[in-house]
Structure formats: structure tokens, C-alpha cells
């Protein structure tokens, strides 16, 4: 149960950091989606159920922080957590370079789900924001992956039934 607490603390800190990201560190007025990166890394290192649960909790955190698209955000984070959990157990799941690739794909999937559930007012600026967001998330994902991997090694998961 301590690994759950460690993931919860990381998600709370990630949500706080995401909401307080300084304007000077944003790329084209876009900051990183730290909660999405943490959810994806939890899915990669712990599996589908942990990724889904991290997505659910992360969606509630961002919704409580005042994110306007609550339902779209919650659904997209849960789907991302579940899909990234599919990577666990594959040959590539233990390599740090898989994190940026999976996070870029997770960002794209989450953005597409949010676009369908809560369409943007104009498509091309939204597409530019998604591109910058994918870049930013890919850059910060190795740090989140190292943290999630350390948690997974510290508290190994029991076999799924």
C-alpha cells in the first residue's frame, strides 16, 4: 500500500506543479501535462489497473483544481492509464527510452479524446498546442519514468489473477 501512497503524493505534487508552472518556462504558452506523464509512467511500470486508477485520481485532482473540461479530462486520463498499462510486460517496458515514445502517443490519444468530448474553437491553433505539448511531455517523461520505476522496484507488484 505504500506504493499507492507514493503515487498519490507524486500525482498531487504533479498537479500542483502543473497548475503553478511559470509563464517564463512555457513553450508558446503551453506548459507540460505533468499528471498525464505520471499516469502514463504508472501504467508502464505497474500495469493496466494501476494506470487506470492513477488516471482516475489524476483526473479528479485536475478537476478539483478548476480545470474546465472535467469529464473529458477524466475520461482521457483513465484511457491513457489503461492503454499505457498494456505496455507493461513487453520487451520494451524496462527501457527508459520507451517513456518518451509512450508519453507522446498518450498525449496524442488524450488530446484526441478531449477534442471529441470538448471541441476546440479553432482546429489549427489547437493542433499547434498539441504538438508543443507532446514535445514538452517527451522531455520531462524520463524523470517521471525513473521515479515510477524506482517505486515499482521498491514495492514489487503481486501477480495479477
| Predicted confidence pLDDT, tens digits, the chain (161 residues) | 787 899 899 999 999 998 898 988 888 889 999 999 999 999 998 889 989 999 999 999 988 887 678 888 999 999 999 999 988 877 666 788 899 999 999 999 999 999 999 888 999 999 999 999 999 999 999 999 999 999 888 887 665 53
The angle that helices 48-64 and 34-46 make with each other, rounded to 10 degrees, is 160
In CATH, the architecture of 2-154 is Orthogonal Bundle (1.10)
The model's pTM is 0.91
Q: What is the DSSP letter of 97?
A: T
CA dist., res. 40 & res. 7, Å (int)? 12
Supply angle C-alpha 79, 17, 131, rounded to 5. 55
Instruction: Map grid coordinates 525513473 to a residue.
Output: 146
CA dist., res. 30 & res. 22, Å (int)? 10
Enumerate the domain spans of the chain.
Answer: 2-154
CA dist., res. 129 & res. 135, Å (int)? 10
Task: State CA 105 to chain mean position distance.
Answer: 11
Amino acid at each position: 500500500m505504500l506504493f499507492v501512497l507514493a503515487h498519490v503524493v507524486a500525482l498531487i505534487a504533479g498537479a500542483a506543479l502543473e497548475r503553478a508552472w511559470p509563464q517564463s518556462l512555457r513553450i508558446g504558452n503551453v506548459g507540460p501535462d505533468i499528471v498525464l506523464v505520471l499516469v502514463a509512467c504508472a501504467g508502464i511500470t505497474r500495469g493496466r489497473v494501476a494506470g487506470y486508477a492513477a488516471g482516475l485520481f489524476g483526473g479528479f485532482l485536475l478537476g478539483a483544481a478548476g480545470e474546465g473540461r472535467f469529464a473529458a479530462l477524466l475520461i482521457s486520463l483513465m484511457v491513457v492509464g489503461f492503454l499505457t498499462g498494456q505496455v507493461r510486460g513487453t520487451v520494451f517496458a524496462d527501457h527508459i527510452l520507451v517513456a518518451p515514445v509512450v508519453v507522446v502517443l498518450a498525449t496524442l490519444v488524450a488530446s484526441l479524446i478531449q477534442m471529441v468530448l470538448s471541441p476546440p474553437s479553432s482546429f489549427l491553433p489547437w493542433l499547434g498546442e498539441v504538438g508543443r505539448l507532446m514535445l514538452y511531455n517527451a522531455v520531462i517523461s524520463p524523470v517521471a519514468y525513473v521515479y515510477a520505476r524506482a517505486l515499482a522496484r521498491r514495492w514489487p507488484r503481486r501477480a495479477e489473477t
